[in-house]
Chain A
Amino acid sequence: MMASSYNAKEDGHVAAPGGGTIQNKKPDNTAFKQQRLPAWQPILTAGTVLPAFFVIGLIFIPIGIGLYVTSNNIKEFEIDYTGTDMSSPCFNCSQSFSWNSTRPCTCALPFSLEQPFESNVFMYYGLSNFYQNHRRYVKSRDDSQLNGDTTSLMNPSKECEPYARNEKMPIAPCGAIANSMFNDTLDLYYIDPNGTRIQIPLMKKGIAWWTDKHVKFRNPGGNPNLTSAFQGTTKPINWRKPVYELDTDAENNGFINEDFIVWMRTAALPTFRKLYRIIQKKNNMTPTLPRGNYTLEVTYNYPVRSFEGRKRVILSTISWMGGKNPFLGIAYITVGSVCFFLGVVLLIIHHKYGSRNNTADIPN
């Protein structure tokens, strides 16, 4: 509006006496200015939408069935070891928990698999009622510290409060997320039919995103000696060991410890699972986890009773579409069917009313 009133004024001053300026005012006859650009003008009528609905139905239903079958073929086993129940082997550990106890409490849970797990098996731990997505929690980290920045190492971001410093010493890694890192140790034993316990080898590499491990997380300084790199910092309050003692393997120690990285990726929902270990398939002859009895040995360090949380261990095989999730398949089948059904309804409507409209138009 400003512009137009201004222009009016401008014209007032500029307008030459006589008709000198008038001739140039004729608007250009371009397609754009006359709003006549060539255009495709689709309209959604029953006739055009019908085939689309049928096609969607025909595509979605098979996809859905495929997804559903794949999901059903995935084997998943879940065991809760929280120990809230009196009968649970971990009951004692869960009751007698204290942060200061030096002696780890262990418990063993027997279980049996009805069916063998053929391919690679992925071992998850699951927590319930644990709000990793709480805002105060999510932001309580210092990404530049985790990326190996030495200044951030000694001066953790204030986002880490109240887990930034302990008695004036900077905490490495700082923040609530790191402080509450899951520290139960889980071991899996296969009980041979003849009674011997065979420890199943659990691989702890490859559980974190490659980019996280290699780019986003880095140990501070070029110092190969982690102990000196973390000099001047202290361990998070709830940790038993400092960060440079997480693993003996230098490739999996400090900030680039994969268990740590996995924990640092905060979950979206209060009930979540995180990848703990991978059980690699040995050869094609024997299943990764044969049918039979197993024992889960838990070093019980992680308290969840205070917030009514649950702890689980999940063993699962994986297909191309990930873990067991019938939702996607069912959704596809449902949507496909709905589309198909709507297609039929529209066909009927189109048949009954479409022609009526067309005849009604003709007099117009």
Chain B
Amino acid sequence: MDFSVLRNLISRYCAGEEYWVDSRTVYIGHKEPPLGADAYIPQRYPDNRIVSSKYTVWNFIPKNLFEQFRRIANFYFLLIFLVQLIIDTPTSPVTSGLPLFFVITVTAIKQGYEDWLRHKADCSINECPVDVVKEGTVVRTQSHKLRVGDVVMASEDETFPCDLILLSSSRDDGTCYVTTTSLDGESSHKTYYAVPDTMAFKTEQEVDSLHATIECEQPQPDLYKFVGRINIYKESEDPIARPLGAENLLLRGATLKNTEHIYAVAIYTGMDTKMTLNYQSKSQKRSAVEKSMNAFLIVYLCILISKAVINTVLKYAWQWFADHDQPWYNHRTEIDRERHVVIRAFTDFLAFMVLFNYIIPVSMYVTVEMQKFLGSYFIAWDKDMYDDELGEGAQVNTSDLNEELGQVEYVFTDKTGTLTENNMEFIECCVDGHVYIPHAICNGQILSAASSIDMIDSSPGGDHREHEELFFRALCLCHTVQVKEEGTVDSIKRGIHQGKPTSFYISSSPDEVALVEGVKRLGYTYLRLKDRHMEILNKEDEIERFELLHVLNFDSVRRRMSVIVKSSAGEYLLFCKGADSSIFPRVVSGKVGQVRARVEQNALEGLRTLCVAYRSLSLAEYEEACHQLSDAKLALQDREQRLAQAYDLIERDFTLLGATAVEDRLQEKAADTIESLHKAGMKVWVLTGDKMETAAATCYASKLFRRSTQILELTKKRTEEQSLHDVLFDLSRTVLRQRSLSGLSVDCQDYGLIIDGATLSAVLKPSPESSGSGNYREIFLEICRNCSAVLCCRMAPLQKAQIVKLIKASKEHPITLAIGDGANDVSMILEAHVGIGIMGKEGRQAARNSDYAIPKFKHLKKMLLVHGHIYYIRIAELVQYFFYKNVCFIFPQFLYQFFCGFSQQPLYDTAYLTLYNISFTSLPILLYSLIEKHISIETLKRDPTLYRDITKNSLLRWPVFLYWTCLGLFDACIFFFGAYFLFDNTTFTSNGQMFGNWTFGTLVFTVLVFTVTLKLALDTHHWTWINHFVIWGSLLFYVIFSLLWGGIIWPFLNYQRMYYVFMQMLSSGPAWLSIILLIMVSLLPDVVKKVLCRTLWPTATHLAQSNRPCLTVEPSTIFVLSQSDSRLSF
């Protein structure tokens, strides 16, 4: 599904050879075809077992470990751990082994649990009962025993166990109704058809007697595409071949509705079904934050290596004197002495690496991942993004991109269903220039049919009369709407109250429903499709029946659809409706001029227009058309292409009847949202397949273009007059002149650009001249960069993706966001850095392929301005803080090497080394990164300009990173030299006893833990009780742990160096004083920097923060005052 659009295109342009090569032959009921047919080749297909689980009990440990160590970070820590095991290193392997073990175990448990759930789900699916026809009787087996070729009987409300070809149904017309809610979220009932030749096999015995083979393509993930052929063998006859298409294929996961039972044959089973093929993971998107994080990591890796190298070199320089290397009190062991100096140097280098390896924290990855995973729940929990009508809130499909929502610079939005409601209302129709407006529904009552027609400019004539009738019939017949008679259809409900039981029109396209309903209000009611006859109730309450012969389905390339019907009078008629651009060129008669004028006027008002035309076919013409269609349909190869050719041949020589206009209202608060996005500094582009006029009107309505906006047009109309080259240069000159003139004032003139698909492809097309293409592309980008809003109309789905790609690849590499609701937006959603799907009426494909799905366009505002902003702040702080705290942690160790003869003596005890990152300092930052809110949600929403403060990854740019690193280095120096001078040759107990090196380290470590935690406390702007609990709690935990760690002789340890060290330290007054002093000094520069920045160079964020108290206080004081006033007046 992911690349369906792309694949369509590929399949359209590439020769379809592969289909033929990769086809499978299925023998229905495993019966050999009669002799003379193709030889029976037993083929092996997977059984119907669904395996979504990744592991089995046996391979879980090796496979999971392998997967985990494929990550660079884990592998790095594994290496460090192995080095510690092999060589004699300063810290025990436990220090890096334990955190690594912890991380690996937690991840393994999580993945194991998920896999266990998957196993359970698989099991319940695989064991669910299925009815299979075997030797003329129905046998119940388990789902996983199903094989390709088995004939399955499914009853109403059952879910299909695999992909099936419908053979026959309990309904007379060989159809069945199916919902695919669980596949693509579309809750409407879809009709599937049995091949007429198998329709009659209605019992088990009959089905069992069927001799047929199915040839079809190998499984592919596109849900809506299927090509196959069924060969039915009858006694002593040539096999009958019938085409099979997507309308014959029942997909696994879909549910049978309104049909008692069906017989169908399994063609794709187990892992071959389209549903399973669709659940493969999408390509991973990486956020900008992750990229900078990796860049920082590389810097730190360099720092780490250079530290180790420096120390190794210095060590050997220092050891040049034998008495430094081996003074009499400290000899090497024999083995050590015998080692070659190069090996010794290398082991020393590794030992230093191990000693300093904590500078790249293991826990950072875990914390970042947890932050993303847990943090994304807040999006799903947000009740402001919950839509009551739809009954759904926002949905997070990937948690990797939360912070990217705060970095968006370009928003690409679809129009229909995204900016607009996709809730169509029939406004008017125009037949040969005469306008008909159905009366609005007043108080739920519909005016009688006759009076509901308002005729403007009515000059009835014979010809006109005939056209009018044809026009309304065309609207009644040319559609794929279904009539649903019960009242229990889910979301899309269109009630028709006629005294009869309620019935609904259901269609995948809301336009069609609107048209059929509109025309009903004008007197022509479409009743139902029965036995291939469409029934219409005309103005005189008579039922007219038309035999439906062919439906030439709508597709987005042709942009039209047609039906061929046979009237009761025996006339063959072809009705076609479609976009004006695809109808007018095919029209040979009719009042084109008048209709075109009306269409253009309607489009200007933002209405969606469709043109209706007809062609009456002679019997010969009809038969030829029939022949072409069935030929194309039967083809296994290039079916698409040949169908398109056939359609092209049939749909011509039209007589224009008229046009319709349907209004698609703007979504609630769409204008407000767009305005906010503009204020937040984002550029909004509308990409639509719609006409330029309609789209432009929507853009004005949604305030994308303002009245003051100067519109630049880059359309086909203009490029026909001038060459593309001139137009482009003209425009860029206009834009650039403006910019050079107004270098000072910021928003002097906005430009809006309108470009259409044809011109766009001309701009992007690599032209044969060498100078051409790159140039145009650059100029075009330059123009776009200077426009605040761009409207691209007449876009094919793939062009949408192209535009996104173009902007993504431009030299600033801006972060793009694409939002859309339909299948045609999927490619753009997948292409953009962040893809957002609207849970729309055109199905769930966009939502399923998106990174985030929201119910309405207006929710984008909160998504970006609030969630994106705070997630970015959170993760930026998380990343910077993690590096900071580890610089603070490790740099004192580095400094200590200068005082211990470069002997890799660790400053801190093993327990501290191990637990620093995993318990003493881990929770506060995790919590911060989950619930920090530097500005209140209301302020963020009210003032979109705050978003500009964080654009361009501003909190993770190199200067900021440098600041944090320098702060870390400064703090580390304070810790180390503070303790150094305090310890320098003196005692600081009142009983004269001396402290040793472990007390020294513990003192540094205590200051470190407190400083680092308090630094985070200083950065926290939102202190809930949880923050208090975690921050003070983790400090308390450190103290309690240290007391406990030093309080007992631990029997399992082979050293007792920490025994009573912490308590002895606390019993000394100067230690307390110096701890307090050092903490103060370390925090001082950051506080001063913060205050100075806030006072001297305040950003919008700072102002918003300091404004907050006044704003929240003011109303309450007023309230208090008024209360006291009222009390006084009493």
Question: Could you list which residues of chain A lie within 8 angstroms of chain B, going by C-beta atoms?
Answer: 1-6, 8-13, 15, 17-19, 22-23, 25-29, 33-46, 49, 56, 60, 63, 67, 120, 122, 124, 126, 130-144, 147, 157, 159, 161-163, 176, 179-180, 206-209, 211-212, 215-216, 238, 262, 265-275, 278, 303, 306-308, 316, 318-325, 327-328, 331-332, 335, 338-339, 342, 346, 349-350, 353-354, 357, 360-361, 364
Contact = CB atoms under 8 A, between A and B. Distances in A.
Interface in B151-191: 157, 179, 181-183, 187
B988 A321 contact: yes
Given A6-B117, A135-B90, 5 more contacts: A33-B377, A43-B1106, A180-B329, A216-B1049, A321-B1069
B330 A137 contact: yes
Given A17-B179, A49-B1087, A322-B1070, A364 B1103 contact: yes
Nearest to B1080: A335
Contacts of B1074: 328, 331
B1073 A349 contact: no
A13 B899 contact: no
Given A35-B931, A308-B323, A269 B1084 contact: no
B1095 interface: yes
A131 B983 contact: no
Interface stretch (B378-386, B623-631, B653-661): B378-386
A37 B323 contact: no
Nearest to A15: B182
A332 B983 contact: no
Interface in B1041-1078: 1049, 1053-1057, 1059-1060, 1064, 1068-1070, 1073-1074, 1077
Contacts of B182: 11-13, 15
Contact of A275 (B992, B1021, B1091): B992
Contacts of B1024: 37-39
A316 B933 CA distance: 55
A133 B1025 CA distance: 44
Interface stretch (B19-27, B395-403, B474-482, B964-972): B395-403
Contact of A216 (B397, B903, B1056): B1056
B52 A325 contact: no
A306 B1064 contact: no
Given A265-B996, A266-B996, A275-B993, A45 B1106 contact: yes
A152 to B, nearest CB: 9
Contacts of A212: 1059-1060
A306 to B, nearest CB: 5
A123 to B, nearest CB: 9
A39 B281 contact: no
A40 B1084 contact: no
Given A39-B1023, A135-B90, A332-B1077, A26 B383 contact: yes
B1107 interface: yes
Contacts of B539: none
A209 B993 contact: yes
Given A27-B393, A135-B900, A157 B1054 contact: yes
Nearest to B1047: A211
A135 B1022 contact: no
Interface in B238-288: 253, 255, 257, 275, 279, 281
Nearest to B393: A27
B916 to A, nearest CB: 19
Contacts of A134: 330, 900-901, 903, 905
Contact of B988 (A124, A325, A353): A325
A17 B157 contact: yes
A108 B294 CA distance: 66
A286 to B, nearest CB: 21
Interface stretch (B331-339, B508-516, B665-673, B823-831): B331-339
Contact of B398 (A1, A133, A144): A1
A143 B1054 CA distance: 7
Contact of B257 (A17, A43, A147, A361): A17
Contacts of B1056: 143, 147, 216
B15 interface: no
B1094 A176 contact: no
Given A269-B980, A325-B986, A133 B1098 contact: no
Nearest to A334: B1081
B1026 A37 contact: yes
Contacts of A142: 1054
Contact of A67 (B331, B377, B992, B1073): B1073
Interface string B384-421: 00101001110011111000000000000000000000
A218 B1112 CA distance: 67
B1095 A349 contact: yes
Contacts of B391: 19, 22-23, 25-26
A269 B1108 CA distance: 52
Contact of B985 (A27, A265, A273): A273
A360 B1102 CA distance: 13
Interface of B: 52, 90, 110-111, 114, 117-118, 121, 125, 157, 179, 181-183, 187, 253, 255, 257, 275, 279, 281, 323-324, 327-334, 373, 376-378, 380-383, 386, 388, 391-393, 396-400, 488, 490-491, 848, 899-901, 903-906, 931, 933, 936-937, 978, 980-997, 999-1001, 1018, 1021-1027, 1049, 1053-1057, 1059-1060, 1064, 1068-1070, 1073-1074, 1077, 1080-1081, 1084, 1087-1088, 1090-1092, 1094-1096, 1098, 1103, 1105-1108
A40 B1023 contact: yes
A66 to B, nearest CB: 10
A12 B183 CA distance: 7
A35 B986 contact: no
Contacts of A39: 933, 1022-1024, 1027
Contact of A206 (B90, B388, B991, B1091): B991
B331 A162 contact: yes
Given A15-B181, A138-B905, A275 B994 contact: yes
10 contacts: A5-B281, A13-B253, A17-B179, A35-B933, A38-B1024, A42-B1023, A131-B900, A267-B996, A307-B324, A321-B1069
A7 B917 CA distance: 32
A209 B996 CA distance: 11
Contacts of A323: 986-988, 992
Nearest to B981: A327
Q: Looking at A37, A135, A270, A346, which has the most chain B CB atoms within 10 Å of its CB?
A: A135
Contacts of B376: 4
Nearest to A48: B1091
Contact of B900 (A133, A319, A360): A133
Contacts of B980: 269
A198 B282 CA distance: 91
Contacts of B323: 306-308
B1025 A37 contact: yes
B933 A328 contact: no
B1096 A353 contact: yes
Contact of B1094 (A44, A130, A262): A44
B34 to A, nearest CB: 41
Nearest to B867: A35
Contact of A37 (B328, B931, B1077): B931
Given A2-B111, A10-B121, A306-B328, A321 B1070 contact: yes
Given A17-B181, A18-B488, A327-B981, A2 B333 contact: no
Contact of A364 (B328, B331, B1060, B1107): B1107
B1054 A327 contact: no
B1070 A2 contact: no
Given A9-B52, A46-B1094, A328-B1074, A322 B990 contact: yes
A46 B1077 contact: no
Contact of B329 (A179, A211, A325): A179
B381 A9 contact: no
A246 to B, nearest CB: 18
With most chain B CB atoms within 10 A of its CB, the pick from A161, A207, A274, A325 is A325
A256 to B, nearest CB: 15
